[in-house]
Amino acid sequence: MQLKAFSATCPILDGVENASQFFDSIKVNYNSLRKKGKYTTLPAPSLYIHQINKGGKSYLGLVASIDMVEYLNGRIIPHEKTITTLEEKHISLLKNTGAQLKPVMLAHRKLDGLQPILLEVVSEYGHFLEVPFPELGEVHRYWQVPQGTLTRQLLDTYQDNVLTAYVADGHHRLAANASLFQQFGKAFRCLPAAIYEEDQLRIYAFNRLVKGLNGLTPPDLLARISDIADITPLPKAEQPAKTGELTMFLQGEWFRLKWKTTTTKKENNAPVQLDVDRLNSRILEGVLGISDIRSARRVQYFEGTIPLSKLMEKVSWNKNKVLFCPPPIGLNTFFEISDRRQILPPKSTCFEPRIRSGILVREFREEALQFECRE
């Protein structure tokens, strides 16, 4: 895998009282903040190290520029289909800002010798940027990898040993950038990526809140689901403990659902059986009448890191809402599915750590102006 250094444009946080509010609005406010001098571009192209401390856990990864050619040639493997309207939104954002505001997130298998290089930079050199997010319990820090031996070691390590990388987050940003690269070339060939070894990642599920029970009462819904899953009442909120089951919150009560063994023809055609596939086909489509999960407005997705107590407030005693909590996909399963080029349903994986938009930005303003003129 070929990585390149890039010149990052970074925020100047003097006077910023709430980092979350600042970065949450960056897609709308980036151009005005740039004009006000709230961003500055670092003088030399570099590789960067990113660290997130959260809940006593430290995640460490590398931020570098990747080549769209490798994505188009299949060396950077996606696992989700993109939605055209979302791709178009990202294309508009690239045009309007002249910048890539957030690195995509890539994963790869454990690589001997990589962590010592990253840790050497962290221990020997000071970070140039620190951003606390107290309401999330997170602190983000960034280091520049010094030019010379350490940069060369990292570039050679990835070039020689990482043959395949896997998209963890950023499918639509990758697809949008690749589309513009194919149309307009040079300015869009590179894209920043935050790259993590497998032991620096955690996967959570996305929980699903469904509005409308397809004309069923809650007892009717339980009766229909009992044909395809064994139902056990639970005394309190629970995430599913293992694969092959999920939990459900309906009209103020929690239930565990354990799939019965019968599989559908569609499921048999899938190389790897997943609980989210079964949930979508057996319950959301088969019972609740949601035929196209990719465009269904009745389904809301919530990251598995959000406390169940907050999701319960959204359902409460409402007779026309139900919450489903599938188990997360294991990392080995994720790599296996990606290697098979099997496409997952939307919102099947929620990865941590997450870089926020607007912290490490790659600008291409001069090229972007030429691109705008050619339209």
Average pLDDT of 282-287?
A: 95
Domains within the chain, CATH numbers bracketed: 9-201+353-374 (3.90.1530.10), 205-329+338-350 (3.30.1760)
- Rounded alpha-carbon distances, angstroms, from residue 206 to 63, 209, 246, 302: 26, 10, 12, 5
Q: pLDDT tens digits for 45-91?
A: 999 999 999 988 899 999 999 999 999 999 999 988 787 888 899 99
40: left (phi over 0), alpha (psi -120 to 50) or beta: beta
Tokens standing for residue 16: 């910023």
Read off the amino acid at residue 319. Answer: K
Distance CA(284)–CA(188), nearest Å, equals 39
Q: Report the distance separating Cα 158 and Cα 198, nearest Å.
A: 15
Question: How far apart are alpha carbons 170 and 193 in whole angstroms?
Answer: 9
Average pLDDT over residues 195-207: 94
More confident residue, 184 or 71: 71
CA distance 91 to 76: 20
Tell me phi and psi for residue 192, to 5 degrees.
-65, 145
User: Is residue 99 classed as helix, strand or coil in its secondary structure?
Assistant: strand
Tell which residue, 284, 108, 106, has the closest CA to residue 199: 108
Neighbours of 217 (CB within 10 A): 12
Task: List, for residues 116-144, the tens digit of each pLDDT value.
Answer: 999 999 999 999 999 999 988 999 999 99
Confidence of residue 347 (pLDDT cuts 50, 70, 90): confident
Could you tell me the pTM of the whole model? 0.85
So what's the pLDDT on residue 268? 55
pLDDT at 375: 32
Neighbours of 17 (CB within 10 A): 7
Please give the average per-residue pLDDT across 334-349, as a whole number.
88
Could you read off the pLDDT of 209-253 as tens digits, one per residue?
Answer: 999 999 999 999 999 999 999 999 999 999 998 999 999 999 999
Cα distance between the two ends of the chain: 33
